[in-house]
Amino acid sequence: MADALLLIDDIGAVRRITVNRPDKLNALNAATLDALREAFDAAAADERVRAVVLTGAGPKAFVAGADIAEMNTLAPVQGRDFSQRGQRLMRTIETLPKPVIAMINGFALGGGLELAMACHLRIAADTAKVGQPEINLGLIPGFGGTQRLLRLAGRAATLELCLLGAPIDAVRAQQLGIVNRVVPAAELEAQTMALAEQLANAAPLALRGILDCVNVGGECAISEGLEYETTQFGLMFATEDMREGTAAFLERRKPAFRGR
């Protein structure tokens, strides 16, 4: 459909989800938040999907923010509900049992940066800009920006971006730890899809174990995180993939992981 909020296509075991509101710079309204959550739930449930790439339609924006026109009409309780709706989506992505890569092809501002930070990896075009400009609207980040930015970039950078509200370029974002890689804009899709394919070919249960350990460890004391890691490590020995991976290493061949 030409008016679909999302475009979804599969390339092998990689599912690509594209926010499709280029005339609004892919701004996140309530309907788009709901559509994204349904799309990620579907990707998690589909055994054929082993990695997900998230991006925005058009040449200008990944996601330029939440839909300001929609927010302008909200009362306080509705504003809180809108924040909770966005945070549910971000948490769905963050806890997805399959790796999610944000392919940042342009502006990732406000809710767009919050969306990218919920993904497990972020690759940005060298022309991209990111930021939390909510202060300029008399608002604060509402989809988890203050918390995930703090964990990725630290207190000083979080306060700078949120208090000043000015965007930064992709190179600066990489220096702060907000994005993993910066690549030439012309190579963004090819390099992102190559990374997604690499992840799709990795051992699915081990990928899930790593994602789980990092999520748990980021929210608990190190002693608890270490205990959780030990448990997950032991569970890997019950999988066919672990036997296949170690046998392939010893036999000097490429492993064929099956997610079992």
Residues annotated as catalytic (active site), given as ranges:
114, 134
Question: Whole-angstrom Cα distance, residue 161 to residue 185?
Answer: 24
Phi, psi of 29 (to 5 degrees): -95, 180
Question: Whole-angstrom Cα distance, residue 260 to residue 258?
Answer: 6
Question: Whole-angstrom Cα distance, residue 164 to residue 128?
Answer: 19
E runs forming strands in the chain: 6-11, 14-19, 51-56, 61-63, 100-104, 107-109, 121-125, 129-131, 168-169, 181-183
Residue 77 tokens read as 């309780």
For the purposes of burial, counting CB atoms within 10 Å of the CB of 118, is it exposed (0-12), middle (13-18) or buried (19 or more)?
buried
Question: Whole-angstrom Cα distance, residue 46 to residue 43?
Answer: 5
Identify which of 136, 130, 90 has the alpha carbon closest to the alpha carbon of residue 106.
130
**Amino acid residing at 218:** G
Identify which of 59, 4, 1, 9 has the alpha carbon closest to the alpha carbon of residue 31.
4
Rounded to 5°, the CA angle 107-60-187 comes to 90
